[in-house]
A and B are shown apart, each in its own frame.
Chain A
Amino acid sequence: MSSPSPWNAETAAVLIAEHRALPGALLPMLHALQEEFGYIDQAAVPLLADALNLSRAEIHGVITFYHDFRREPRGRHVVKLCRAESCQSMGADRLVAHAKGRLGVDFHHTTKDGRFTLEQVFCLGNCALSPAVMIDGELHGRVDEAGFDRLLQETGKSK
């Protein structure tokens, strides 16, 4: 996962146009925008509404419905902790408390230095190797507190 580029209306318009012909195009458009900018800027809403002949309220409704779509810029790295039952059975609650303490932020927040955004997720499909963590799209299994710290360190090094 590369660092997102700053919001740019022209790039956004190109991305929206690229997906315009798809049936049910809004989710693919939102994914493309978030991939590029790391979040969905408020300024994208009228562009999307215009392209799809929908109201701004409808676009807003969709963005806010899905847990994936962020409305604020993210940090350079996204750390997702699984909180679902399988991971709970292997100490996910402890790991969550540890991670929050380590990063000094709650879920859906970004560290002050802009390096890490912490997210909760319900199941990463790695349930035979719980607890699971995903960092920048890379999956990790059997992550204990010390393992989490190591992962953060490695991620920090990779910039």
Chain B
Amino acid sequence: MSVFRIFVPCDASALSMGAERVAEAVAGLAKARKAEIALVRNGSRGLFWLEPMVEVETPEGRIAFGPVTPQAVGEIFDAAMAPNRAHPLYLGPTEEIPYLKRQQRLTFARCGIVDPLSLEDYRAHGGYRGLERALGMDGAAIVEEVTQSGLRGRGGAGFPTGIKWQTVLKTTAAQKYIVCNADEGDSGTFADRMLMEGDPFVLIEGMTIAGIAVGATEGYVYIRSEYPHAYRQMQRAVGIAREAGHLGPNLLDSGKTFELHIRLGAGAYICGEETSLLESLEGKRGMIRYKPPLPAISGLFGKPTVINNVVSLASVPIILDKGAAHYRDFGMGRSRGTLPIQLAGNVKRGGLIETAFGLTLRQLIEDFGGGTATGRPLRAVQVGGPLGAYFPASLLDLPLDYEAFAAEKGMVGHGGVVVFDDTVDLARQARFAMEFCAIESCGKCTPCRIGSIRGVEVIDRIIADQERDKNLLLLDDLCTTMLDGSLCALGGLTPLPVQSALKHFPQDFDRPAGRIAAE
């Protein structure tokens, strides 16, 4: 009898729906039936409404079942062996599931497919080809390749990655650093977490290429403490890569050195801001720094530093492997390549959708997402995290593109899309935006530190119908001050959700007092 590989994800979201118990049931079944089963703990494919999604390897390819309970494991095993595979949880060949089939997975090409901690598996699926090619190039050529790909920072700001690297390359210093920003704090986002849990070597490879390109021999991954699974997985993967000579001195016999350290944040949203993150890595309060100097010139410990988001760095291996043109050929306008979109909130089929830029919100929410989870009409969508704009249903034909979103006074950000049904109260969401800013402000600049607190108070008065017109004017003025006067994006972008709520949902700010329960 041949060995069957059964895949049960170890992704934190899959675990949150009981994947661990399913994995135990699979192991127990294998023992009871004396079947030769190899249990693989893969990452998630990102079809979260189907988690725990179990896959079985068959001669015709992988087939999927989900959402699987521990009790159903025996039946699924039988169904997988049966010719017709009839079972209510049977989803068909995994790659044929429309949600997956319609995607263009470049950065997430391996996520959910490979054993995340197997270097052999990683290599068998194209891993380390990018680094091997990079090792035959000089730094400037690698940077040029990344520049030509059109890759822009996927953390939220959308700054061209190649230009950042170029600055670090040009700056001479005895020590340079590569820092990965894995402080994925935006609500509605989980792409970084999925990659670190499901394909950690791609991030390690991307950072190694960055190090070789700009002449940095050390790197840090700063992971938020809300992601304990990702933190442990990255630590294991770095250990494995180091052991196998893929990290450290003379990596892959190239004569080059790159060492990688994994660090844990401590629950501060502001540390997703790059200079604040650097302060935190240095062991200080996460207060943002004045710019200039740019981190590319004076970053971690005062040295030239490349600081990029997880998805940006993880997109580098495929760019080096397949060439800049391959990546650039996806996308629209000045938004090149693919964007891993995270569909979340009140949506039937939430998950990870990686596709070329240009998909509209409607295609995303209706075709992929299947509408709201509650079945009620959609009323608002927040794109780009807590600092992103709220859009009404009438703007659903907006394509996901950096410039198209900016034109509507919104932002793509890190690609998080949060859906709300018609029970949402946008005055309360606006209030929350200010409250969140007040809680998470580092306190360095006044518009953010004080402005956010005053913002909560002003919105409270608007909701309570106290001199509403006067307070609406005041709120507008306050938003302008925060927008123009804040040092970083936290204070500077908090007006985005507030003003978009005011613009698109004015009726929510114009209700008789008392209609909304005070809190």
Q: How far is the CB of B395 from chain A (nearest CB, A)?
A: 17
Q: Which residues of B contact A26 (CB under 8 A)?
A: 283-284
| Contact size range, B | 35 or more
B225's nearest neighbour on chain A, judged by CB, is A68
User: C-beta contact mask, A67-103 vs B, less than 8 Å → 1, else 0?
Assistant: 1110000000000000011111110010000000000
Q: Are B283 and A86 in contact (CB under 8 A)?
A: no
Contact of B193 among A87, A125, A129 (CB under 8 A): A125
B429 part of interface (Cβ distance < 8 Å):
yes
How many Å lie between the Cα of A137 and that of B350 in the bound state? 23
A115 part of interface (Cβ distance < 8 Å):
no
Q: Which residues of A contact B421 (CB under 8 A)?
A: 89
Contact of A128 among B228, B280, B301, B342 (CB under 8 A): B342
How many Å lie between the Cα of A27 and that of B229 in the bound state? 19
Q: Are B187 and A84 in contact (CB under 8 A)?
A: yes
Q: Are B229 and A128 in contact (CB under 8 A)?
A: no
A44 part of interface (Cβ distance < 8 Å):
no
Q: Which residues of A contact B285 (CB under 8 A)?
A: 61-62, 65
Q: Are B419 and A127 in contact (CB under 8 A)?
A: no
Total interface residues in chain A, CB < 8 Å: 42
B194's nearest neighbour on chain A, judged by CB, is A125
Known A27-B283, A122-B185, A129-B17; judge A66-B190 contact (CB<8 A): no
How many Å lie between the Cα of A52 and that of B225 in the bound state? 23
Q: Which residues of A contact B225 (CB under 8 A)?
A: 31, 68
B286 part of interface (Cβ distance < 8 Å):
yes
Q: How far is the CB of B415 from chain A (nearest CB, A)?
A: 12
How many Å lie between the Cα of A134 and that of B227 in the bound state? 10
Q: How far is the CB of A134 from chain B (nearest CB, A)?
A: 8
Contact of B16 among A61, A93, A122, A132 (CB under 8 A): A132
Q: How far is the CB of B404 from chain A (nearest CB, A)?
A: 22
Q: Which residues of B contact A126 (CB under 8 A)?
A: 12-13, 16, 190
Q: Are A138 and B15 in contact (CB under 8 A)?
A: yes
Q: Are A68 and B346 in contact (CB under 8 A)?
A: no
B373's nearest neighbour on chain A, judged by CB, is A90
Q: How far is the CB of A79 from chain B (nearest CB, A)?
A: 14
Q: Are A127 and B266 in contact (CB under 8 A)?
A: no
Q: How far is the CB of A74 from chain B (nearest CB, A)?
A: 14
Q: How far is the CB of B466 from chain A (nearest CB, A)?
A: 23
A118 part of interface (Cβ distance < 8 Å):
no
Q: Are A128 and B350 in contact (CB under 8 A)?
A: yes
Q: Which residues of B contact A86 (CB under 8 A)?
A: 187-188, 344-345, 416, 418
Q: Are B13 and A139 in contact (CB under 8 A)?
A: yes
How many Å lie between the Cα of A67 and that of B432 in the bound state? 18
Known A24-B283, A31-B264, A89-B346; judge A129-B13 contact (CB<8 A): yes
Known A61-B285, A86-B418, A140-B16; judge A23-B301 contact (CB<8 A): yes
Q: Which residues of B contact A125 (CB under 8 A)?
A: 12-13, 184, 189-190, 193, 226-227
Q: How far is the CB of B402 from chain A (nearest CB, A)?
A: 21
How many Å lie between the Cα of A66 and that of B281 in the bound state? 13
How many Å lie between the Cα of A23 and that of B280 in the bound state? 11
Q: Are B267 and A31 in contact (CB under 8 A)?
A: no
A133's nearest neighbour on chain B, judged by CB, is B16
Instruction: Give the B-binding residues of A (Cβ under 8 A).
Output: 23-28, 30-31, 52, 61-62, 65-69, 84-90, 93, 121-130, 132, 134, 137-142
Q: Show 13 A/B contacts (Cβ-Cβ < 8 Å), sorted by A.
A: A31-B264, A31-B266, A65-B268, A66-B267, A68-B266, A85-B188, A89-B421, A122-B440, A126-B12, A128-B342, A128-B344, A138-B15, A142-B17
Closest 9 CB pairs of A and B: A128-B350, A84-B187, A26-B283, A127-B344, A66-B266, A67-B267, A141-B16, A68-B267, A128-B48
Q: A23-B282, A88-B432, A127-B187 are in contact. List 18 more A-B contacts (CB 8 A).
A: A62-B285, A65-B268, A66-B266, A84-B386, A84-B436, A85-B188, A85-B418, A86-B344, A86-B418, A90-B345, A122-B269, A123-B186, A123-B188, A123-B226, A125-B189, A129-B17, A137-B228, A140-B16
